[in-house]
Amino acid sequence: MTADADDIRTRTRALLATHPPQHTPRLDFLRARFDAGLAWVHYPAGLGGLGAPRPLQAVADAELEAAGAPDNDPRRIGIGLGMAAPTLLAHGSDEVTHRFLRPLWVGEEVWCQLFSEPGAGSDLAALATRAVRDGDDWLVTGQKVWTSSAHLARWAILVARTDPGLPKHQGLTYFVCDMTDPGVEVRPLRQLTGEAEFNEVFLTGVRIPDRHRIGAVGEGWRVARTTLMNERVAIGGHRLPREGGMIGPVARTWRERPELRTHELHQRLLRLWVEAEAARLAAERLRQQLAAGQPGPEGSAMKLFLAGLNQEISALEVELRGPEGLLYDDWTMRRPELVDFTGRDAGYRYLRAKGNSIEGGTSEVLLNIIAERVLGLPSEPRDDKDIAWKDLAR
């Protein structure tokens, strides 16, 4: 029988009664929540859900929030929740989903995404990392780049080339890679901001069991598209309170520092404030579509818009502060778990926002997606579509 709102409410209150948040260790509570099917109610029973309609998640969340229940720190484990979990659910075997989803949701195991490569970032299908079958395993060799959380991750979703004799989109296969296995080397990638939030990952003969293959051999591009679609929705649909994003610090400065104001800056701030609020409300609509099981290409449009908006806001803040805006708080090499947009200086926000138009799919790629899948325009001419990857000029 499909659960309804009353059933979800009853189950949530039963969880709170047997595991009072104030007296239950955080991880124990999260494990109990997963086992009760209240982690993501639309997932199947046994995998953190109840097979219920997605919108009913809000019923459980409201009850849990009112009771002061702990959350599962979604920002720290955002790649696992936003990209790995829906991909594993859609394409993984029963063994894979039962092994990985519980520790992923609870946050016991952090995930990263081994997709981008030095010679294949925007054109992901051109990747060169190879996976060669060896008995019941695959041997993977190659290099990945711009990998968030690789220095924290236990597991990674990985796309590798398994048949270079096929055109580039057809010879790919999707795997789960153990980041603690021999042959995996993670090196910090120091950024413009001075910190190393991203990594390079070198894979040398890494042995991956075939049971950790996701989808059929050669179906890696189809599986990866599931990941990418969910990635853009996860980025574009991030929940924020009013003035909770990049617009917050500059709005506060405007209110607290009247000596910095000019008419021209006032006009620009007004426009950006309205756009930030429109983006916040549009993100809410995006989440509602996701809850209804209709993520669509709107996530790409929102991700594209937010990248430009953040860069405009951070530039305005530097201008508003004048020479003070050029100061930088700390160039010390650090490896943060999270991007701290609002806790650092204006100079940090200005530099870090430059990456918004690259990470999670470049703005140029997103423009193509919108043109082809939303507007229905003809695809760009591609002369590499039917040529074996090994014969392509590189």
Give the catalytic positions in this structure: 231
Give strand ranges (E) for the chain.
111-114, 130-134, 137-144, 155-161, 172-178, 184-189, 198-209, 213-214
323's tokens: 């020479």
Residue 340: strand, helix, or coil: coil
318's tokens: 């530097």
Which residues are bridge partners to 322 per DSSP? none
Gyration radius (Cα) of the chain, Å: 22
Tokens 């080397």, residue located: 185
Report CA torsion sign: 295, 300, 301, 306.
positive
> Which positions ≥6 away from 245 have C-beta within 8 Å?
276, 280, 310, 341, 342
Alpha-carbon distance 271 to 256, whole Å? 19
Contact 123, 115 (CB under 8 A): no
Assign 3-class secondary structure to 70-91.
Answer: CCCCCCCCHHHHHHHHHHHHHH
Report CA torsion sign: 47, 50, 53, 56.
negative
Alpha-carbon distance 15 to 35, whole Å? 10
Burial of 117 (0-12, 13-18, 19+ CB in 10 A): buried
Contact 102, 49 (CB under 8 A): no
Assign 3-class secondary structure to 364-380.
Answer: HHHHHHHHHHHCCCCCC
Name the residue among 338, 320, 340, 319 with its Cα closest to residue 329.
Answer: 340
Contact 237, 300 (CB under 8 A): no
